[in-house]
Amino acid sequence: MGLLADWQQQQMLLLLWPYRDDVWRLQGRPAQQQLRQLVQLAAPYCNIFVGCHPTQLEYARTQLPATVELLALNYDDAWARDITPLYTAPQWGGSEQLFAHGFQFTAWHGLYPDFQQDQAFAKQLARRLCQRFIAHDLVLEGGAITTDGAGTAIVHQASVQRNNPQWTLVAIEAYLKQQLQLQQIVWLRWANPLDETGGHVDNHAQFIAPDTLVTSLPQPSSPWYQHYAAQLEQLRQLTNVCGKPYHILVLPQPAAIVPEPDEFASIRRQPGVKVRGTTPLLASYVNLVNLAQCMLVPQFGLPSDAEALQIMQQWAGKRPVLAAAADEFIKAGGGLHCMTATIPT
């Protein structure tokens, strides 16, 4: 089986409590409220635990449902997807054959200077959950890779190469294939200029089933239309390890969202930390959360929200597809998928 896809990791959904006042506006309160809404939506369909920085644990207890398990964890910021382990497992076997892979982390090429707790997070979590842990020298964020759970992964070349200048692309590919038990890696080369990670797959394409990919396409008037169209054609040409093409779902790609001038006035300015509110915001419906029992589709308060939700509902059939507000998350540079991580136990 190798690298596990989200829907193959149906034991727990992890979220981290946002708290940084130099990243999240209004001391993180609007984002905390949105996280609480996300927890309430997902709770009927999966086990959830929320990691809280020790300084935030008692306050978070007053804000979250009593049924939600809280875990004191050390981290620098709340983007669980990028700092939790990637998991591999054989096709057959129990949890004793599960491996948690921890990669290096550099705060997306230095968006904030102190990231030691984020760097150590994967090992910390694996130890708390009594999982076998493998440490790697390569810099790789969870949002930069997606897998069909059957030997194929799509990885974003732009950010991975930028974060590993001492590695050749050939060496990176060989290493990932060996360590994550992958048979083929497909590289996405173009990153939306508004993606402050430098290029993450979960803003461009995501496997949602062994035979299905979701991606997006903006209006032809978009300055980036040709880039998205070329990416779509690349995905349409893609086949799995058995030579079969994937079914491609195409969601609308919203135009860049221009924030209000005073929307980020409450964020504390700190040397070395990315200044918020100076550039338009990237919103992506591809940045959804795909669980074994339900799907959570981000909503941004845009007219295209309903279209994205309808497309995913038609595909999912009887499986619940839930609308989840994500406008606060994109104001800090991420999305629904970025805020969550699926954890097998």
pLDDT digits (tens, 9 = 90+) for 42-97: 999 999 999 999 999 999 999 999 999 999 999 999 999 999 999 999 765 555 58
Look at the chain and count its residues. Answer: 345
Q: Which SS3 state, helix, strand or coil, does residue 139 take? A: strand
pLDDT (0 to 100) of residue 96: 58
pLDDT (0 to 100) of residue 9: 75
pLDDT (0 to 100) of residue 251: 99
Alpha carbon distance 64, 303 (integer Å): 30
For 110-121, the pLDDT digits (tens) are: 999 999 999 999
Mean pLDDT of the chain: 95
Residue 157: pLDDT over 70: yes
pLDDT bracket for residue 345 (50, 70, 90): confident
The mean pLDDT value for 269-298 works out to 95
CB 62 within 8 A of CB 29: no
pLDDT (0 to 100) of residue 208: 98
Q: Where are the domains of the chain?
A: 2-343
Alpha carbon distance 225, 192 (integer Å): 11
Residue 107: pLDDT over 90: yes
Alpha carbon distance 82, 107 (integer Å): 9
**Share above pLDDT 70 across residues of the chain, in percent, rounded to a whole number:** 98
The backbone region for 33, taken as left when phi is positive above 0, alpha when psi lies in -120 to 50, beta otherwise, is alpha
pLDDT bracket for residue 25 (50, 70, 90): very high
Please report, as a single letter, which amino acid is at residue 245: P
The mean pLDDT value for 27-48 works out to 96
pLDDT (0 to 100) of residue 183: 98
pLDDT (0 to 100) of residue 122: 99
pLDDT (0 to 100) of residue 1: 67
**Share above pLDDT 90 across residues of the chain, in percent, rounded to a whole number:** 93
Torsion angles phi and psi, residue 215, rounded to 5: -145, -170
The mean pLDDT value for 191-202 works out to 97
pLDDT (0 to 100) of residue 309: 98
* pTM for this entry: 0.96
Residue 228: pLDDT over 70: yes
For 7-17, the pLDDT digits (tens) are: 987 679 999 99
pLDDT (0 to 100) of residue 336: 98
pLDDT (0 to 100) of residue 95: 52
Alpha carbon distance 29, 183 (integer Å): 43
Homologous superfamily, domain 2-343: L-arginine/glycine Amidinotransferase; Chain A (3.75.10.10)
Beta bridge partners of 15: 50, 340
The mean pLDDT value for 209-226 works out to 98
Find the angle CA(276)-CA(256)-CA(148) to the nearest 5 degrees: 100
pLDDT (0 to 100) of residue 27: 95
Instruction: Identify the helix (H) or strand (E) that includes residue 109.
Output: helix 107-110
pLDDT (0 to 100) of residue 94: 53
Ordered DSSP codes for 167-192: S-HHHHHHHHHHHHT-SEEEEE----
Alpha carbon distance 73, 60 (integer Å): 13
